[in-house]
Amino acid sequence: MANDKYYGYSPKKETRKPSTGVTDVGTRLDRVNPYEFRKGMDVELTSLGVSRLAESTPEEREKATESVLKNLEEHQAYYSALIQFERGMDQASPINETSFKKYLEAYNGSEGRGDGMVEVDKEIKNDNATGEYYLTDIVSIINKKGFKIKTCIVSNEEVKGANTKKELSELEETFRKMKSEDLLEMGITVSDPNRVDVRGEVSAGTDCIIDVNVILDGVVKLGDNVSIGPNTILKDVEIGNNTSIEAFSHLVSSKVGKDCIIGPYARLREGSQIDDSAKVGNFVETKKTTLGKGSKANHFAYLGDAEIGSGSNIGAGTITCNYDGKDKHQTKIGDDSFVGTNSSLVAPVTVGSNAYVAAGSVITKDVPDNALGVGRSKQTNVEDWSKNKD
């Protein structure tokens, strides 16, 4: 269609209709700024009920084109001021209240209306039952000043206000529904759209599944075939292909690789990086920690400020003692190593590759490669002790 080359809709060569009057659409398009045209098309297609150019029909685009051209011809100075404002005047000038007033002044001055729009905010009054200032009063104010007002039809949900906690809750429900629909449009399987809360930006590959009572906050990136279990919180995380986040897990500012299993009841704090095929099990907490490829911390552990190689196993009850009361220190564990249950690794300390730490040990010195570290008192048995204790 005539507008395609301006909107970036199609790389195909433009085809124009034969002129039916003094000038046709194609000829008129050649006289306008493409940026102005794109801005106008956003508005016109929305008024037609089309949210994206790709969803519009040729007839809708032709109708929108005619309307935009008419507006450009009638309000050329307005569009010029709009472009200047949205470009921030220049690279060093931020878009703020001052630059916005410059934009309004440019618009009003070019239309010969003086400082009308700049003064609108001063004309809004709060002489009503609630004593509040209503932005909707602007419509009647600018109408009295002689400005042309265009209307568009939107759903009631788009323009509802909130004066009570109940009404605010209703708006939140509407917003939550809209965000859930976005997930479905991405191709994500959502177990119950009414029980997922999107508070940021979500991107996803194919065949992802999100169970109930999940919160997605900040920037969340999901690979292909990612499964998010119920009652899970994800904030500013990236999750690789074929990874499963089990129920009641909490991940913040972390990166998880491919083919991993996280949870249930796992907590990944800021700076955690879980490499491919690794596992973080129930009641394991990580912070500023790298867990290498294929390594496992299956249950009941705290791994803070740690660097763990590939193929290592961290036993239940293991703690990296990273804080001495003043400073944080790092623990390093090599590849293919084994840390027995209920061990305390007092940082700074290094456990080498293919090394072992005996269960129940308190390790305060480095353990070399291929060595066994034992840091516990020798067991002593007292015979017949129970008989004599009374």
So which residues are the catalytic ones?
A: 299
HSE-up of 337 (CA within 13 Å, CB side)? Answer: 26
Do the Cβ atoms of 249 and 232 come closer than 8 Å? yes
The residues with which 233 forms a beta bridge, in sequence order, are 215, 250
**22-29 contacts: CB < 8 A, separation 24 or more?**
25/62, 25/65, 25/66, 25/69, 26/2, 28/69, 29/2, 29/3, 29/65, 29/69
- Of 248, 252, 304, 301, the closest CA to residue 279 belongs to 301
Show the CA angle centred on residue 306, arms to residues 300 and 310, nearest 5°.
85
Token pair 């516990």 is found at 376
Do the Cβ atoms of 244 and 261 come closer than 8 Å? yes
210, exposed or middle or buried, with CB in 10 Å at 0-12, 13-18, 19+?
buried
Tally helices (H) and strands (E) across the chain: 11, 25
How far apart are alpha carbons 283 and 301 in whole angstroms? 7
Number of C-beta neighbours around residue 215 at 10 A: 16
Token pair 């400020």 is found at 305
How far apart are alpha carbons 353 and 308 in whole angstroms? 10
How far apart are alpha carbons 268 and 237 in whole angstroms? 10
237 membership: H or E segment, kind and range: strand 233-239
How far apart are alpha carbons 248 and 20 in whole angstroms? 66
